[in-house]
Structure 1
Amino acid sequence: MECKIEENKAFCNCTYEPCQRKYKCCDCLHYHRGKNELPACFFNKAYERTYDRSIGNFIKMHGSNRNLSATAVA
């Protein structure tokens, strides 16, 4: 399966500039899951910028933002 880097650019909200996995969703997901984390696209703008990709931080984000349908790129 070919990686659709150009299409992924429309959805990737990662602000971590030295990232080698940017726009490579499969690589990014495998990397973060291997660290018991979630990729940037699971977080809203404010939480993404903390670079805390932990599952606990994801739950905290949803606890402070009860609008659960407004995840990812906000």
Structure 2
Amino acid sequence: MECKANKITDKCPCTWLSCSKRGHCCDCIAYHRERDELPACYFSPDAEKTYDRSFVNFAKDKGLIS
């Protein structure tokens, strides 16, 4: 399915400013899903800045594991 959404760069929480998928949610989600990762919008601002998009880092960020 092709994403028809508009680019939303001004609302995107990703701090990787040179990413071509930044602000293109459908492309970003597909990219990270292919790599068994989550996009930046799932993480707190501090965890997002680590660029570790793993499920383990997500669980740590949300306090599910230590």
When normalised by structure 2's length, the TM-score is 0.84
Secondary structure (helix, strand or coil) at the match of 1:23 reads coil
User: RMSD of the TM alignment (CA)?
Assistant: 1.5
Q: Number of paired residues?
A: 62
Q: 1:57 to 1:32 in 2, by over 3 A?
A: same
1:10 shift after superposition? 4.4
Aligned to 1:25: 25
Query: Which runs of 5 or more residues in structure 1 are unaligned?
Result: 65-74
Q: Percent identity?
A: 44
Q: Which runs of 4+ in 1 moved over 2 A?
A: 8-11
Query: Which runs of 5 or more residues in structure 2 are unaligned?
Result: none
